[in-house]
């Protein structure tokens, strides 16, 4: 594990960064839930990092890539809220500026993404689009509960049905 404070003092800001951060205050056995190991370490790369030590927050900007297990998130900017009890434990990650999440053959896109590590919930909102093979799904908000393995999509808030504010999609049918 890399101590962010020491790294920042020795390296300064404005560099491409790769680090590993331990996830979650609950150091339970690493368990794959819904095919994703939410206890796996989180690795990130960015053009720049600002450490807001008095707020227990990191701000990553510029071509941000965040990886955990087989999940990869890409965004323009991400804010990482953490606790520091001898190790840096992520509590919440907020991605803005267009968010793309890939896992295997599945891609999810949205305007904003939030990963709550304590509740183990990932939420994408704003122009959400899900693609898996030839299957497509669109909506206003996607909530993935890593505890239960249940995902739900709802329509965009404040969108009238005449403007297409409903959840829509296309699913493939097996050939005969």
Alpha-carbon dihedral of residues 6, 11, 16, 18, nearest 10 degrees? -30
Q: What is the pTM assigned to this prediction?
A: 0.75
Q: What is the mean pLDDT of residues 100-121?
A: 93
pLDDT band at 35 (very low <50, low <70, confident <90, very high): low
- Within-domain flag for 65: yes
Q: Coil, strand, or helix at residue 167? A: coil
Tokens standing for 43? 């690795």
- Within-domain flag for 157: yes
Above 80 in pLDDT, residue 105?
yes
- Within-domain flag for 174: no
Q: Which H/E stretch holds residue 6?
A: helix 4-11
- Within-domain flag for 158: yes
- Within-domain flag for 9: yes
- Within-domain flag for 142: yes
pLDDT at 176: 65
Above 70 in pLDDT, residue 47?
yes
| E strand intervals along 27-87 | 32-33, 36-37, 42-46, 48-52, 57-68, 71-84
Cβ–Cβ under 8 Å, residues 112 and 122: no
Predicted confidence (pLDDT) per residue in 48-78, tens digit? 999 998 999 999 999 999 999 999 999 999 9
Identify the domain containing residue 87 by its residue range. 4-27+39-165
- Within-domain flag for 141: yes
pLDDT at 135: 92
pLDDT at 26: 28
What CATH number did the domain enclosing 130 receive? 2.60.450.10
- Within-domain flag for 66: yes
Tokens standing for 114? 């939030």
Above 50 in pLDDT, residue 8?
no
Predicted confidence (pLDDT) per residue in 160-174, tens digit? 444 457 899 998 888
pLDDT band at 27 (very low <50, low <70, confident <90, very high): very low
Rounded Cα distance between 74 and 95, Å, is 8
Residue written as tokens 């809220």? 81
pLDDT at 101: 93
Above 80 in pLDDT, residue 108?
yes
Q: What is the mean pLDDT of residues 32-55?
A: 83
pLDDT at 77: 98
Give the total number of structural domains in the chain.
1
Tokens standing for 22? 């331990």
Under DSSP, the state recorded for 31 is -
């Amino acid at each position: 594990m890399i101590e962010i404070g020491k790294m920042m003092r020795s390296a300064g800001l404005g560099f491409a960064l790769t680090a590993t951060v331990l996830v979650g205050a609950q150091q339970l056995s690493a368990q794959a839930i819904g095919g994703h190991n939410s206890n796996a370490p989180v690795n990130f790369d960015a053009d720049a990092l600002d450490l807001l030590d008095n707020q227990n927050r990191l701000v990553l900007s510029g071509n941000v890539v965040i990886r955990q297990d087989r999940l990869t998130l890409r965004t323009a900017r991400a804010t990482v809220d953490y606790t520091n009890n001898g190790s840096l434990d992520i509590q919440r990650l907020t991605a803005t500026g267009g968010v793309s999440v890939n896992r295997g053959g599945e891609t999810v896109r949205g305007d904003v993404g939030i990963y709550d590590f304590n509740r183990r919930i990932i939420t994408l909102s704003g122009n959400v689009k899900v693609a898996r093979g030839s299957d497509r799904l669109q909506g206003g908000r996607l909530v993935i509960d890593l505890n239960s393995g249940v995902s739900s999509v709802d329509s965009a808030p404040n969108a009238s049905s005449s403007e297409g504010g409903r959840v829509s999609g296309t699913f493939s049918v097996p050939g005969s």
